[in-house]
Amino acid sequence: MHDTDNNDDEGSNARHATRMVRKKTIIDQRIAAAYIDRGVLVVVTGNGKGKSSSAFGMAARALGHDMRVGVVQFIKGAAATGEEAFFRRCDGVDFHVMGEGFTWDTQDRERDVAKAAEGWRCAEAMLSDDSVGLVILDELCVVLKYRYLPLETVLRTLRSRPASQHVVVTGRGAPEPLIEIADTVSEIDDIKHAFRAGVRAQKGIEF
């Protein structure tokens, strides 16, 4: 290696070290400023894949901290999923599948509304139980988008839940009032999907 190469490496290393010192200072200041401990409302929305996957990743984290987890899956239910099979085997998880399939399959709005109401009653019980540390309301955004449940009722219940309880809401088309009361909102974009190349939904990836 030439001396100039060594000098370039040393210069790059020095600049990197300087940047990291500045970055650490900023991050340490932000960490010190975050002193509140309370339950948070997380919304994971968007047209891309991974919304439910994100929620169930948080369920695994919560279980790792010995927290009780409640799950209500709206819309889904026509087919078995890997997350249901796995989490039903875990102690500390109360798992309810309350849908009958995607709306384009059911084609029965009245029945969909009834199933959503049934699922919401289950969710309300969890959202009033301070022993449940994390509640996942999977595909609730879709239910709200199609107005299967009164939005204001849902918002009021989310606001009045136990102070330390975390909630994750998933689904496409999160309504703006839900986004407004949420603490953390992530939107997953659809850049590329194997399905459009003719690849069928795969076990362990889509379900």
Number of domains forming the structure of the chain: 2
In the numeric block, the tokens 């998880």 are attached to 93
Instruction: Say which residues have a Cβ less than 8 Å from residue 140's Cβ, sequence separation at least 6.
Output: 72, 74, 123, 154, 169, 170, 171
Give 36-45 pLDDT, tens digit per residue. 899 999 999 9
Could you give the CA distance from residue 200 to residue 31 in angstroms, rounded to a whole number? 44
Strand partners, 184: 42
23 lies in a domain? yes
Residues 87 and 154 in one domain: yes
Residues 189 and 102 in one domain: yes
161 lies in a domain? yes
Residues 124 and 24 in one domain: no
Domain boundaries, position 153: 39-197
Which CATH number characterizes residue 142's domain?
A: 3.40.50.300
Give 61-107 pLDDT, tens digit per residue. 999 999 999 999 999 876 789 999 999 999 999 999 987 765 555 66
Residues 99 and 5 in one domain: no
Is residue 92 left, alpha or beta, with left meaning phi > 0 and alpha meaning psi from -120 to 50? left
Residues 79 and 113 in one domain: yes
What is the CB-side half-sphere exposure of residue 179 using CA atoms within 13 A? 13
Tokens of residue 202, six digits: 């795969």
- Mean pLDDT, residues 13-38: 84
Instruction: Say which residues have a Cβ less than 8 Å from residue 184's Cβ, sequence separation at least 6.
Output: 40, 41, 42, 43
Residues 21 and 48 in one domain: no
Give 121-165 pLDDT, tens digit per residue. 999 999 999 999 999 999 999 999 999 999 999 999 999 999 999
Residues 3 and 81 in one domain: no
Residues 43 and 30 in one domain: no
Residues 15 and 80 in one domain: no
Residues 16 and 81 in one domain: no
206 lies in a domain? no
Tokens of residue 2, six digits: 């030439």
59 lies in a domain? yes
Rounded to the nearest integer, the mean pLDDT of the chain is 91
103 lies in a domain? yes
